[in-house]
Chain A
């Protein structure tokens, strides 16, 4: 037995039966507390799911929790109706058409800049990088009015491209920050070896830096994807009825909340499915993105 274990043992010996009992009870209390908290966190989402599986008539009658005693209420009726509603399905497609390019562009443009900041030499490099880092915390609200005017002048207002560009602009500071720091940790020898084999900057970037940057790029991609998919404010300002994503389409129904519950509940749930799938599939990358000290 190590000395440490001995001291611990003798310390324990002093602990009376009563205090051990107290410890057991407190262990039980911790468990009960965490279960109650867990329920607190789960119940609202379960409420949405079950509400989306009931008819509006039932929703007006009684609470969603009555399905536990009368499971016959469950029906896909609202989903059927929703999927025939072209406003909603079109906006769901728009969400994808906005989110995918906005994510890819941020990753590509951010990687190019991150690589340049990490491994190229040019005057004022560190100052440029610090300037980009300074932009990390700029609130999107600052840009709404100026960019609305700018997009109005160049014909981008109301277009999907405008929404995409805005998301790319505000995604870049984090992208450059995260990727520069990650790329800077790539061993110099790897880059030099590739260089000796005659690779140019572009090949070096595509064949060495990008593959090695995989984990950081994954974190960034997931973050940007979730941010754009879940955004409502930017699209609310810059999209029109033809280019609006699902968040904006649903938002217009919230004013008559009680009457539109058969659209809102299944709509909200459908809009959550992809982010939740991404979240569960890539938890580790998601958490390491959070760890990077940056949640946008």
Chain B
């Protein structure tokens, strides 16, 4: 974490009424002493921060080997190289969405925690991820986003929700065995070869569902009783372990029904009745099904829904932004909560007395009063996001790292694995140019204070 930088002004605490002071040396220190105090800091800053800026600017105008002057070629590559363009596009997505969502969540959390007694505990939980490394957060979210719903919690929850609302298919790979009364009807459905008759129980045996894939509520299959006014039948797994089909076309002792199998009666291409099988595989259709063919529609046999490919090419950037928000919403929340503590309660009360509801108080009073804090938080996060590296490097799997690419990652690749220091330097200078407005703002704000 925290490879970002400070900013932009949360106002420092000022002692009210303190007279403007001139920080003169207490007793005219000799300049050599001052120089000695400053020397270590200035030497290190000069060698490790200032010199590299100059070096990068110069280097960015030279070619790969560093011998030939390249003019603006390296900068041109920023906008022509496919890898860098993806990185640039992703950086824009990052800068637009990550800071605003984190700030918005921080604002919501800060306002709502004021209304519960355990607000401090909540804040601690949300703020905590700021203390851990982006590497650890990256590993945490690799686990969260694991594609397999039996490993990754994101897909486990997603599939759970999906299957609650969409019909889940229970019998992937089930198909008619030999001498079956069923035949393929196209699109994965199966249909009886002969029309069904009232009072003649129908057998719809299938094979091919792995024993551990059978639904837990499947019960012993039984032959359906004949009912003169209805069409009845059984659908079941016609397979006994070790014995094959056993009695072909009739349920044996250890064979299980297909609970929940959907069955449609089709006459002239139109569905005239439909039902689902009971736990023992039996089903009953009304008299209208007389003379129809029975169809087992394809959605009985679909592969189970496997969730989203979070770390695949199209979702990888939003997924990583999600993990960033997990880390940094707490930062926004804490700063905004501090700002909120400074909002005069009387103003909020006055608005309520005037008949404003909570939403209006929030929208018309709280948010405008907090605007400066919100701006500071957003700008700080923007600078931070501009340099995002670790999370992308760790969370994006090799196969989609090109799709998740960001400028800081591309700089690292160009500089240290592709041996393109010229282009890497141009990316560095580009990043520096983007933070210069904030640099200027910081200096200007402090100049006023220093001159007090």
A residues lining the B interface (CB < 8 Å):
4, 7-8, 11, 26-27, 30-31, 33-34, 37-38, 41-45, 47-48, 51, 59, 61-65, 109-110, 112-113, 115-123, 126, 128-130, 132-150, 165-166, 168-170, 172-174, 176-177, 181, 184-185, 188, 191-192, 195, 201, 204-205, 223, 226-227, 229-234, 236-237, 247, 250-251, 254-255, 257, 261, 264-265, 268-269, 271-272, 275-276, 278-279, 283, 286-287, 290-296
Q: Which 5 pairs from chain A and chain B are nearest by CB?
A: A169-B48, A294-B6, A230-B133, A279-B131, A113-B41
Q: With a CB–CB cut-off of 8 A, which chain A residues contact B25?
A: 119-121
Q: With a CB–CB cut-off of 8 A, which chain B residues contact A295?
A: 2, 4, 6, 331, 380, 384
Q: Is B353 an interface residue (CB 8 A)?
A: yes
Q: With a CB–CB cut-off of 8 A, which chain B residues contact A132?
A: 41, 45
Q: Is the CB of B135 within 8 A of A43?
A: no
A-B contact list, 21 entries, CB within 8 Å: A41-B126, A45-B128, A62-B151, A64-B143, A113-B42, A117-B38, A132-B41, A133-B442, A135-B49, A142-B432, A144-B411, A172-B41, A172-B45, A173-B45, A201-B33, A230-B1, A232-B390, A233-B3, A268-B135, A283-B124, A292-B6
Q: With a CB–CB cut-off of 8 A, which chain B residues contact A172?
A: 41, 44-45, 49
CB proximity of B109 to chain A, nearest CB, Å: 7
Q: Is B80 an interface residue (CB 8 A)?
A: no
Q: Determine the main DSSP class of B at the interface with A.
A: helix
Q: Mark B21-33 against chain A: 1 for CB-CB distance below 8 A, else 0.
A: 1011111110101
Q: Is the CB of A44 within 8 A of B144?
A: yes
Q: Is the CB of B131 within 8 A of A276?
A: yes
Q: Is B288 an interface residue (CB 8 A)?
A: no
Q: With a CB–CB cut-off of 8 A, which chain A residues contact B412?
A: 141, 144, 233, 236-237
Q: Which residue of B lies closest to A277 (CB)?
A: B131
Partner of B435, one of A109, A138, A234, A237: A138
Q: Is the CB of A265 within 8 A of B143?
A: yes
Q: Is the CB of A120 within 8 A of B37?
A: yes
CA distance A217 to B64 in the complex (A): 44
Q: Mark B388-419 against chain A: 1 for CB-CB distance below 8 A, else 0.
A: 01100110011000000000100110011000
Q: With a CB–CB cut-off of 8 A, which chain B residues contact A65?
A: 153, 156
CA distance A295 to B380 in the complex (A): 8
CA distance A142 to B408 in the complex (A): 10
Best-surrounded residue of B44, B56, B393 (most CB of chain A within 10 A): B44
Best-surrounded residue of A30, A132, A140, A188 (most CB of chain B within 10 A): A140
Q: With a CB–CB cut-off of 8 A, which chain A residues contact B51?
A: 146, 150
CA distance A129 to B408 in the complex (A): 29
Partner of B431, one of A8, A139, A169: A139
Best-surrounded residue of B26, B34, B128, B144 (most CB of chain A within 10 A): B26
Q: Is the CB of A118 within 8 A of B23?
A: yes
Q: Mark B331-354 against chain A: 1 for CB-CB distance below 8 A, else 0.
A: 100110010000000000100110
Q: With a CB–CB cut-off of 8 A, which chain B residues contact A134?
A: 439, 442-443
Extra pairs beyond A141-B387, A232-B390, A272-B133 (19, CB < 8 Å): A41-B126, A120-B29, A133-B442, A134-B443, A142-B432, A145-B52, A146-B56, A146-B59, A148-B415, A170-B48, A173-B6, A227-B1, A232-B135, A254-B138, A254-B142, A264-B142, A271-B136, A279-B131, A292-B10
Q: Is the CB of A181 within 8 A of B131?
A: no
Q: Is the CB of B386 within 8 A of A139?
A: yes
Q: Is B216 an interface residue (CB 8 A)?
A: no
Q: Is the CB of A138 within 8 A of B53?
A: yes
CA distance A185 to B14 in the complex (A): 9
Q: With a CB–CB cut-off of 8 A, which chain A residues contact B376?
A: 293
Q: Which of B147-167 contact A (CB under 8 A)?
A: 149-153, 156
Partner of A293, one of B4, B7, B124, B408: B7
Say which one of B236-244, B255-263, B422-430 lies at the interface with A.
B422-430
Q: Is the CB of B115 within 8 A of A8?
A: no
CA distance A286 to B142 in the complex (A): 28
Q: Is the CB of B53 within 8 A of A142?
A: yes
CB proximity of A294 to chain B, nearest CB, Å: 3
Q: With a CB–CB cut-off of 8 A, which chain A residues contact B50?
A: 135
Q: Is the CB of A34 within 8 A of B112?
A: yes
Q: Which residue of A lies closest to B40 (CB)?
A: A109
Q: Is B355 an interface residue (CB 8 A)?
A: yes
Q: With a CB–CB cut-off of 8 A, which chain A residues contact B149?
A: 63
CB proximity of B338 to chain A, nearest CB, Å: 6
Q: Mark B308-344 against chain A: 1 for CB-CB distance below 8 A, else 0.
A: 0000000000000000001000010011001000000
Q: Is the CB of A136 within 8 A of B10?
A: no
Partner of B55, one of A128, A146, A169, A185: A146
Q: Is the CB of A140 within 8 A of B128?
A: no
Q: Mark B99-131 against chain A: 1 for CB-CB distance below 8 A, else 0.
A: 000000000010011011000001011101111
Q: Which of B1-23 contact A (CB under 8 A)?
A: 1-12, 15, 21, 23
CB proximity of A262 to chain B, nearest CB, Å: 12
CB proximity of A182 to chain B, nearest CB, Å: 9
Partner of A41, one of B2, B125, B387, B397: B125
Q: Is the CB of B6 within 8 A of A141?
A: no
CA distance A279 to B443 in the complex (A): 30
Partner of B125, one of A42, A120, A135: A42
Q: Is B447 an interface residue (CB 8 A)?
A: yes
Q: Is B370 an interface residue (CB 8 A)?
A: no
Q: With a CB–CB cut-off of 8 A, which chain B residues contact A135?
A: 45, 49-50
CB proximity of A178 to chain B, nearest CB, Å: 9
CB proximity of A172 to chain B, nearest CB, Å: 6
Partner of B143, one of A30, A44, A166, A205: A44
A137-B6, A254-B138 known; A11-B355 Cβ under 8 A = yes
A137-B439, A172-B41, A291-B335 known; A145-B124 Cβ under 8 A = no
A113-B42, A138-B432 known; A146-B31 Cβ under 8 A = no
A109-B41, A113-B42, A226-B2 known; A247-B135 Cβ under 8 A = yes
CB proximity of A154 to chain B, nearest CB, Å: 10
CA distance A47 to B144 in the complex (A): 8
Q: Is the CB of B446 within 8 A of A133?
A: yes
CA distance A120 to B390 in the complex (A): 41
Q: Is the CB of A116 within 8 A of B133?
A: no
CB proximity of B411 to chain A, nearest CB, Å: 5
Q: Is the CB of A139 within 8 A of B435?
A: yes
A138-B49, A169-B45, A226-B2 known; A112-B38 Cβ under 8 A = yes
